[in-house]
Amino acid sequence: MAVTITDIIAFTETHIMPKLIDNVLNSNVLLYKLMGKKAKRWPGGRQYETEVFWQLNPNAAAYTTDGNLAIATGEECTRAVSLPKQYNVGICLEGLDMAINKGAHQIVNLVAKKMKSAEQALKDLFGTHLFTTTAGNNILGLHSLCAATPLTYGGLVTTDVPGWCSSSGTLGRSGGPDSTTNALTKAILDTQYNSVKLDNDHPDLLVTTDAIWSGIMTTYLMPNMRYTDTKMGDLGFENFKYRKAYAYGDDKCAAGDIWLLNSDHLYFVIFPGMNFKFIPWAYQSSTKDRMVAHIRWYGNLHCDEPRKQSWMSAITSVT
């Protein structure tokens, strides 16, 4: 029995796409947390907006019975915005490949291999862009969010909105967490953690390289391994708990870097129906012996409080 394009579309949508999306999200702890669990719906419009309260109402004060009430005007809030970004991966099936792989089983295997290659490309692309200073068509990655001051993020500038910037710096350099050393100590890590903690609003993710992750675990935390998040461990993400943050190693994290992130204020915003949407197989044109399909995504990485995110760089050892 010949395999039709309708059969190929049905097989892809039913058997491949659900697993492909799960595999992409589960390939990286930040994708799993920020795109899978914490993602928010983009309600429409040309930009995603969140309110930013950057100063308190100045009229709160105690007063005497016959005293004047404090009344002063001032701008207490503004908006942070993100623009939509578009991602696509195209998959091609050549006519000759279809002819060579005759039979339903062989065609199914061919489609599965092509889709697996697309899955790997998406994993690599999103994982890379998360940890880079991105611009143009790409999502705004962590390096854009945690750039050195003055920070411009979400359409806001630190000099205009005090307290907007993240807590970031380079070990061993002036202005960094400690200008005297490139070795990470528990005191330095605690200081950096405290710099982005406010009461019970604290980092819940510590993401770093595998080498630094192992150094922190063996140097500071080996007696407390009972705090491992077993659910995340079952997904393949080895972890331990440092204070209130679960710590993970990530292959895409640059050497010497540690990120302390608060996922209550950092998340992907995604257009409804465009979260790795499958665009079905179709012949490319009447002049091409080729079928093509696409996987498409619209959204961005958004942060409504950069000051509660942290980046440390140039770490050479853990002591």
Average pLDDT score over residue span 118-142: 88
Residue 62 lies in a domain: no
Both tokens of 6, joined, read 């309708």
Residue 57, in any domain of the structure: no
171 burial via Cβ count (<10 Å: 0-12, 13-18, 19+):
buried
Q: Which residues of 22-47 are buried (b: 16+ CB within 10 A; e: fewer)?
A: eebbebbbbbbbbbbebbeebeeeee
**294 class by beta-carbon count within 10 Å (0-12 exposed, 13-18 middle, 19+ buried):** middle
Say if 60 falls within a structural domain. Answer: no
Segments forming the whole domain that contains residue 142? 5-49+76-318
Residue 73 has pLDDT above 90, yes or no: no
pLDDT of 210-243, one tens digit each?
999 999 988 887 655 544 555 555 545 688 888 8
Give pTM, 2 decimals: 0.85
Q: Average the pLDDT over 33-59 and give the result.
A: 84
Rounded distance between C-alpha atoms, residue 128 and residue 225, angstroms:
29
Structure tokens at 281: 């197989």
In-domain check, residue 70: no
The DSSP secondary-structure symbol of 318 reads E
Is 279 part of a structural domain of the chain? yes
Rounded mean pLDDT, 258-287: 92
In terms of pLDDT, which residue wins out, 159 or 126?
Answer: 126
Secondary structure letter of residue 307 according to DSSP: G
Higher-confidence position of 276 and 26: 276
Chain position carrying tokens 């204070």:
243
pLDDT digits (tens, 9 = 90+) for 131-165: 887 668 999 889 888 866 556 788 887 777 767 77
Residue 64 lies in a domain: no
State phi, psi for 141 to the nearest 5 degrees.
Answer: -75, 180
Q: Is the pLDDT of residue 86 over 90?
A: yes
Q: Is residue 68 part of a domain?
A: no
Domain count, the chain: 1
Residue with tokens 């491949």: 16
> Is the pLDDT higher at 54 or at 289?
289
Alpha-carbon distance of 237 to 268, in angstroms, equals 20
Residue 22 lies in a domain: yes
